[in-house]
Amino acid sequence: MNVTGPETGGGIGDPIQHGGNLSRARALFGQALEPWVDLSTGISPHSYPHSPLPGNVFARLPEVASAEKLKALAAGAYGAPSTAHVAAGPGTQILLPMVADLVVGKGRAAVLSPTYAEHARAARLAGFEVLETADLNRLAEADLAVIVNPNNPTGRIVGRDELLALAAIMRGKGGLLVVDEAFMDVSEASSVADAVDAGGLAVLRSFGKFYGMAGLRLGFVISHPETVARIESRLGPWAVSGPALHVANEALGDSQWRQAMRMRLKEDATRLDALLAAAGISVMGGTSLFRFIRDPRAQAIFRHLGEHGILVRRFEERPDDLRIGLPGESDWPRLEEALKTIERAK
């Protein structure tokens, strides 16, 4: 457990370093092979095969009817009780401080850690004193509790019963449990999206990761209808872009693709684990969209792959940790080649 002041490297307002930044990778590894193989995110390499965008999808304001359809499809796909329990916004990221703001009076926030660093930043921004803790029991003491489930980057899963018990505690004192289910699409864990009507609970879902469409910016809050109304009031009209509505209204209605993709990503993850194992690197956890490694050679592995034009995710504050995303179909040989020459553990 550690009670945090500012994030590593600065104050509340300073940006946190994330995966997916190839400019920084190029600055770091000037000599590396182009094009970069970017395995630094948890975004699927298999984008949803949507139909061509209609010509007016950029020109016109997003249609209200299309945005309503999106909410209905999201409620079905994610298991929310109804459309009224779903708010859609331009990416989950921008929703984080809005959700933290829902807790009246603020006070203390607790984030089950280590995890996606933006949760603690958003809570601080919203005026909370933030505890980042690995102890689930400490979360009940807070006014705002945050759990990423399954967790990014470790893959740790918190059970449904524990989550619902914690939500009941939060509800009892006017607090809020936020469960970020950004990687739930590929998980064996149980979503709690169906349980939001009782109150005290907000579930976040991310469209871009599982559907390989992170550039679209689309995320959801699933919560009690009153909470949803407050979020929507803050978002205002036209929060979701025309292209995002077009793609997501096809994708979220396509349960066959979803089912098949879950299988495929599982196979990809197994293939990745096998490659890493052959190079003497053991996977500690993760989800089908990323694998988590805790290894004293982590920095050396990061550099070795970087010198071969392959970017993986390291964590400034935890030098033994790495997260490796799934290669796209044409990127496997590059990874296999690079792993062949990695120095084995002694």
- Stretch touching a second copy by CB under 8 A, among 142-150, 231-239, 299-307, 319-327: 231-239
Residue closer to a second copy by CB (options 119, 297) is: 119
Exactly one of 79, 153, 200, 242 binds a second copy (CB under 8 A); which one? 242
- Stretch touching a second copy by CB under 8 A, among 73-81, 170-178, 198-206, 215-223: 215-223
**Spacing of C-alpha 20 from chain mean position:** 13
Please tell me the distance from the alpha carbon of residue 96 to that of residue 119, in angstroms, as a whole number. 7
Query: 201 pairs with which residues across the strands?
Result: 177
Minimum distance from residue 94 beta carbon to a second copy (Å): 6
Return phi, psi of residue 315, to 5°: -130, 115
- Exposure of 264 by Cβ count < 10 A (0-12 exposed, 13-18 middle, 19+ buried)? middle
Check residue 97 for interaction with a second copy (CB under 8 A). Answer: yes
DSSP strand E in the chain: where? 2-3, 37-38, 86-89, 108-112, 129-133, 144-148, 176-180, 201-206, 219-223, 285-287, 290-294, 310-311, 313-314, 321-325
- Cβ-Cβ contacts under 8 Å for 277 (sequence gap 6 or more): 283
Minimum distance from residue 67 beta carbon to a second copy (Å): 10
Check residue 127 for interaction with a second copy (CB under 8 A). Answer: no
Residue closer to a second copy by CB (options 184, 244) is: 244
- Stretch touching a second copy by CB under 8 A, among 234-242, 253-261, 300-308, 335-343: 234-242
Exactly one of 76, 93, 140, 164 binds a second copy (CB under 8 A); which one? 93
Check residue 237 for interaction with a second copy (CB under 8 A). Answer: yes
Residue closer to a second copy by CB (options 239, 283) is: 239
Residue closer to a second copy by CB (options 60, 173) is: 60
Q: x/- string (CB under 8 A) for a second copy, residues 1-40?
A: -----------xx-xx-xxxxxxx-------------x--
Exactly one of 2, 8, 233, 255 binds a second copy (CB under 8 A); which one? 233
Minimum distance from residue 326 beta carbon to a second copy (Å): 12
> Around Cβ 67, how many Cβ atoms within 10 Å?
18
Q: Check: CB of residue 202 under 8 Å from CB of residue 177.
A: yes
Check residue 217 for interaction with a second copy (CB under 8 A). Answer: yes
Query: 219 pairs with which residues across the strands?
Result: 89, 206
> Around Cβ 100, how many Cβ atoms within 10 Å?
25
Please tell me the distance from the alpha carbon of residue 208 to that of residue 328, in angstroms, as a whole number. 16
Q: x/- string (CB under 8 A) for a second copy, residues 47-66?
A: x--------xxxxxxxxxx-
- Cβ-Cβ contacts under 8 Å for 35 (sequence gap 6 or more): 309
Check residue 234 for interaction with a second copy (CB under 8 A). Answer: yes
How many alpha carbons lie under 13 Å from residue 249 in its C-beta half-sphere?
Answer: 21
Please tell me the distance from the alpha carbon of residue 259 to that of residue 157, in angstroms, as a whole number. 21
* Residue ranges binding a second copy (CB under 8 A): 12-13, 15-16, 18-24, 38, 41, 43, 45, 47, 56-65, 90-91, 93-94, 96-97, 118, 121-122, 125, 208, 212-217, 229-230, 233-244, 247
